[in-house]
């Protein structure tokens, strides 16, 4: 089977955004599926390169191979600010994608398009699929279901158009599927969890070995945040809750990993909050480095206001670490309160601090929850199990369309 993956989320110039989608593509290739990836990338003239984001876009190569996956970074005209021009930008992407694919990629004889997120990329993919006559599968991943459709009336219409016109809708969490089905007025969405690679993310025999390698004091208790540093991820709530925690447990330390989207110097913010030497911003890390960080910490904390199904939760749990997380999106489908982690409501800083203190002070609690978290992930959220479910859905769609019959050798 030949699949054209059309994804707004994908690693770019060292950025780990979309690494989970890339890993899924690697697994598809291992199972005999031919995957070609097109990553929509806003055109960035050099006049904008004084900003790191736009410089990264401008310096991207046109084509790379990542772990054996052929990836094209497709540049297209993009108007800012994005919200008023949401549909205009999606139409621009469609037109440039159509020109690029018909000129350069049609010889690959694609069987279908797999697009994410639902909007804006899925909207462009709908137009593209009709133009080149290919079945379309669109995946809901989080903000494309929870946030983007509510920007304005135009984005709502775009969202509805995708749900009506895609041949198959999938989501990476039951919570997202419920929202999609409610919007559509009927059940149209299947759930395919991405899961985690339990060969890479697993407990180490000695946590202190990881700490020694990373230069973390063995006598402290370590909380870890992994994700984009933004208000939506609850970073301000986390710092406030940590100050409360620190006042009652002085050996607590907080490590922050991820790209800074706050629009302010995070290290200056830490200094202003008098948290120097207590909170450490480590910047972005390559995905392959994260297992060591999970193993070095005592627990993961992720106080987001909105989520789809954050893979960092799977990853921490696969390393036998409990999680303190907000009860948003698909998180409660994975994390059971007082069983595999602790759930709090978003914005409840005092409750967040209380949950963090429980894991720091109650004897054996972190270890007990971590052991059950490991079992939970290995029973239900292993990536190779879920990739087979995705392949089965693609297989059934193509059979319905009468376009392709799988050989036994292709799905193992």
Q: What pLDDT, on a 0 to 100 scale, did the predictor assign at position 404?
A: 52
- Interatomic CA distance for residues 129 and 54, integer angstroms: 29
- pLDDT digits 0-9 by tens, 103-160: 999 999 999 999 999 999 999 999 999 999 999 999 999 999 999 999 999 999 999 9
Q: Is the pLDDT of residue 40 over 60?
A: yes
pLDDT-derived band at 280, boundaries 50, 70, 90: very high
Dihedral of alpha carbons 366, 367, 368, 370, sign: positive
Cα 167 → chain centroid? 23
pTM of the full structure: 0.90
Q: Could you tell me what percent of the chain has a pLDDT over 90?
A: 88
Length of the chain: 412
pLDDT-derived band at 408, boundaries 50, 70, 90: very low
CB atoms closer than 10 angstroms to residue 59: 12
**If you ran DSSP here, which 8-state letter would residue 126 be given?**
H
Q: What is the mean pLDDT of residues 242-262?
A: 96
Dihedral of alpha carbons 114, 174, 199, 294, sign: positive
pLDDT-derived band at 82, boundaries 50, 70, 90: confident
Q: Could you tell me what percent of the chain has a pLDDT over 70?
A: 98
Asked if 273 and 243 count as a contact pair (C-beta separation under 8 A), the reply is yes
pLDDT-derived band at 15, boundaries 50, 70, 90: confident
Maximum Cα–Cα distance across the chain: 65
pLDDT-derived band at 59, boundaries 50, 70, 90: confident
E-strand ranges in 143-271 read 168-171, 189-191, 221-226, 252-257
- pLDDT digits 0-9 by tens, 85-104: 999 999 999 999 999 999 99
- Interatomic CA distance for residues 173 and 20, integer angstroms: 14
pLDDT-derived band at 407, boundaries 50, 70, 90: very low
CATH code given to domain 207-380: 3.40.50.2000
Average pLDDT of the residues of the chain: 94
Homologous superfamily of the 2-195+382-401 domain (CATH): Glycogen Phosphorylase B; (3.40.50.2000)
Rg of the chain on CA atoms, in Å: 22
Residue from 84, 82, 91, 141 nearest 114 by CA? 141
- Domain 2-195+382-401 identical in fold to domain 207-380: yes
pLDDT-derived band at 402, boundaries 50, 70, 90: confident
Q: Could you tell me which residues are beta bridge partners of residue 324?
A: 301, 342
pLDDT-derived band at 13, boundaries 50, 70, 90: confident
Domain spans, the chain = 2-195+382-401, 207-380
- Interatomic CA distance for residues 213 and 3, integer angstroms: 41
């Amino acid at each position: 089977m030949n699949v054209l993956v059309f994804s707004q989320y994908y690693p770019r110039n060292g950025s780990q955004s979309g690494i989970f989608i890339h890993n899924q593509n690697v697994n598809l290739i291992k199972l005999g599926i031919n995957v070609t990836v097109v990553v929509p990338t806003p055109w960035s003239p050099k006049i904008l390169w004084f900003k790191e984001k736009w410089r990264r876009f401008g310096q991207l190569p046109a084509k790379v191979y990542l772990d054996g996956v052929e990836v094209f970074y497709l540049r297209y005209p993009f108007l800012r600010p994005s919200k008023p021009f949401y549909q205009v930008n999606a139409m621009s992407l469609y037109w440039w994608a159509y020109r690029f694919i018909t000129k350069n990629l049609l010889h690959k004889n694609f069987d279908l398009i797999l697009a994410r997120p639902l909007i804006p990329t899925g909207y462009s993919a709908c137009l593209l699929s009709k133009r080149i006559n290919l079945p379309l599968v669109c995946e809901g991943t989080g903000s494309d279901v929870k946030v983007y459709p509510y920007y304005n009336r135009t984005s709502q219409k775009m969202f509805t158009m995708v749900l009506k016109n895609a041949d198959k809708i999938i989501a990476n969490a039951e919570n997202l599927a419920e929202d999609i089905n409610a919007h559509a007025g009927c059940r149209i969405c299947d759930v395919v969890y991405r899961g985690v690679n339990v060969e890479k993310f697993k407990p180490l025999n000695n946590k202190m070995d990881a700490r020694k390698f990373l230069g973390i004091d063995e006598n402290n208790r370590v909380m870890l945040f992994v994700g984009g540093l933004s208000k939506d991820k609850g970073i301000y709530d986390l710092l406030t809750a940590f100050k409360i925690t620190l006042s009652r447990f002085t050996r607590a330390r907080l490590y922050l990993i991820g790209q800074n989207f706050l629009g302010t110097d995070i290290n200056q913010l830490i200094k202003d909050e008098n948290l120097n030497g207590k909170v450490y911003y480590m910047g972005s890390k390559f995905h392959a480095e994260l297992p060591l960080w999970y193993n070095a910490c005592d627990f993961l904390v992720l106080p987001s206001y909105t989520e789809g199904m954050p893979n960092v939760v799977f990853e921490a749990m696969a390393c036998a670490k409990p999680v303190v997380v907000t009860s948003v999106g698909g998180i409660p489908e994975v994390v059971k309160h007082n069983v595999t982690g602790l759930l709090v409501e978003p914005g409840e800083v005092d409750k967040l601090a209380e949950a963090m203190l429980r894991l720091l002070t109650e004897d054996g609690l972190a270890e007990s929850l971590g052991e059950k978290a490991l079992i939970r992930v290995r029973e239900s959220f292993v990536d190779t199990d879920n990739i087979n479910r995705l392949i089965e859905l693609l297989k059934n769609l193509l059979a319905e369309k009468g376009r392709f019959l799988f050989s036994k050798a292709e799905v193992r």
